[in-house]
Amino acid sequence: MNFRALNHEDIEVFSEAISAFFLNMTHESAVVRTAYLLDGSSAPLWSDFNGVIDVSGGFRGSITFSAPHGMLSQVLQAIGEREHSVDRCLDVVGEIANMMSGRARRHFGEELAISPPSARLRTLPPSVPRATGVPFAIPLRWRAHEANLVVHLDIRR
């Protein structure tokens, strides 16, 4: 099966989904700080809380949103939640993964098969990557915190 390299539009779908989440929920934008390739020497970006969607169909790979506990606590505070428990933080990254999933479906069309978005703790190791292409990291800043979007995706031509 032939896979094409990712275009910036393919990545922007996910970064825009995250930005939209922050803007809608907290009325404060999360801004993309930069974008770069995660080469073999880079440590995997796997933070306190991770929202993951695995894709298949004409696609192969995963999209991960990793955020530190401090950021998610402040998000919960911003949306009026008093409880900042682990479960609530997992809910937030799960919701972001869900939003990315919806946007991805609209962007990539019916061929994209998406597994149910999952929220995982740092203590759970990241799954073995299924994509063979180079993953892209997009750090996003919200207030003083930085989260990472990692798009590791092969797209069939």
Partner 1 sequence: MPSLQSFLPGKYRVLVIAVAAFFFVSVGVYTLNYVLLQNVERDARGINAGGKLRGYSQQLAKAVLTLSHESAAGDPIQTSQAQISEAYLAFDLALAEVQAFAAESQDGPALELANKLDRQWQPLRDAAIMLLASATPEQAAVEAAATLSNTRNVRLLQLADDLTREQERLAADRARSMRVLQSGAITVALLMFAFVVVHVARRLSRSDREAEQARRETTDILRTVREGLFLIDRNGTIGTQRSEHLARVFPHPLAPGDNFLVTLAALVTPETMDSARQYIGLLLNERVKPALLADLNPLQRVQLGQAGGSRAKYLSFTFQPVRDGARSGITGMLVAVADVSQEVRLERELADAEERARSEVALLLDVLDKDPADVRRFLDDARAKLDGLNAALRDVTPDARAYLTTVTKVFREVHSIKGEAAALAIGAVAAQAHRFEDELGALRHRRTLTGDDLIPVATGIGHLMQELAKIDAVISRLAAFAQPAADARAQAGATHPGDDAVLQTMQRIQRLALAVASDLDKKVRIETSLPQVGAIPEAVHRLLREGLPQLVRNAVVHGIEAVAERRDAGKQEEGRLRIELARSADGGLELSVTDDGRGIDVHALRRRLTEDGHRPAAEVAAMSDRDVVATLFAPGVSTAASVSEHAGRGMGLDVVGALARETGARLRLASTPRAYTRFTLQWSPA
Nearest of 37, 97, 16 to residue 64 by alpha carbon: 97
Amino acid at site 87: D
Distance between CA 142 and CA 155 in Å, rounded?
30
Asked if residue 49 lies in contact with residue 121, where contact means CB atoms within 8 angstroms, the answer is: yes
Q: Is 110 left (phi over 0), alpha (psi -120 to 50) or beta?
A: alpha
Residue closer to partner 1, measured from CB, 11 or 97: 11
Q: Which stretch binds partner 1 (CB under 8 A): 68-76, 83-91, 121-129, 130-138?
A: 130-138
Smallest separation, CB 157 to partner 1 (Å)? 5
Torsion, Cα of 96, 97, 103, 109 (10° steps)? -170
Binding of residue 134 to partner 1 (CB under 8 A): yes
Binding of residue 12 to partner 1 (CB under 8 A): yes
Binding of residue 111 to partner 1 (CB under 8 A): yes
Residue closer to partner 1, measured from CB, 7 or 123: 7
Smallest separation, CB 82 to partner 1 (Å)? 32
Single residue of 20, 25, 35, 121 touching partner 1 by CB under 8 A: 35
CA 151, distance to chain mean position in Å, is 7
List residues binding partner 1 (CB under 8 A).
2, 5-9, 11-12, 15, 31-37, 39, 106-109, 111, 133-134, 136-139, 141, 156-157
